[in-house]
């Protein structure tokens, strides 16, 4: 990834409200994705679900449940495509999160 994107991503991770004039902040991305995730969880009837998304959205979801997950963690997955995380929930509570090796 280029230096410009890395610099922009760093600014966003340092300030979750930072965004370009026509863009979306990480806080907005996180809120939108967590709302969608909780809606999916509410509809799940114990059958399990698969959710696919891009790296930034996935990283903000991880950060919601694990606030210590930050820019350095995000940057480590940039070239991991796909990057698969298994999350197990009890209601809205994350019980376990594991990386699925490829």
Going by C-beta distance under 8 Å and a sequence separation of 6 or more, which residues neighbour residue 94?
65, 87, 88
Domain assignment present for 9: no
Structure tokens that stand for 26 in this block: 């990480």
Q: Rounded to an integer, what distance in angstroms lies between the CA atom of residue 83 and that of residue 65?
A: 17
Q: Residue 81 has what pLDDT?
A: 80
Within a domain: residue 40?
Answer: no
> Diameter of the chain by CA atoms?
44
Q: How many structural domains are present in the chain?
A: 1
81 in a structural domain: yes
Altogether, the residues listed in the chain come to a count of 102
pTM of the full structure: 0.90
Which pLDDT value is given to residue 18?
A: 98
The answer to whether 75 and 86 are in contact (CB under 8 A) is no
Residue 46, domain member (yes or no): no
**Paired strand residues for 96:** 88
Does residue 69 lie in a domain region?
yes
**28-86 residue pLDDT tens:** 999 999 999 999 999 887 778 888 899 999 999 999 999 999 999 999 998 888 889 99
Residue 10 lies in a domain: no
Q: Give the pLDDT confidence score for residue 3 in this predicted structure.
A: 86
pLDDT tens for 7-34 read 999 999 999 999 999 999 999 999 999 9
Does the residue 57 lie in any domain? yes
Cβ(73)–Cβ(58) below 8 Å: no
**Domain, as residue range, for 74:** 53-102
């Amino acid at each position: 990834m280029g230096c410009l994107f890395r610099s922009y991503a760093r600014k966003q991770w340092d300030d979750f409200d930072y965004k370009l004039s026509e863009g979306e902040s990480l806080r907005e991305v996180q809120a939108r994705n967590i709302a969608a995730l909780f809606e999916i969880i509410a509809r799940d009837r114990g059958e399990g679900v698969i959710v696919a998304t891009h790296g930034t959205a996935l990283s903000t979801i991880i950060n919601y449940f694990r606030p210590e997950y930050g820019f350095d963690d995000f940057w480590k997955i940039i070239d991991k495509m796909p990057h698969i995380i298994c999350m197990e929930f009890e209601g809205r509570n994350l019980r376990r999160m594991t990386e699925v090796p490829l």
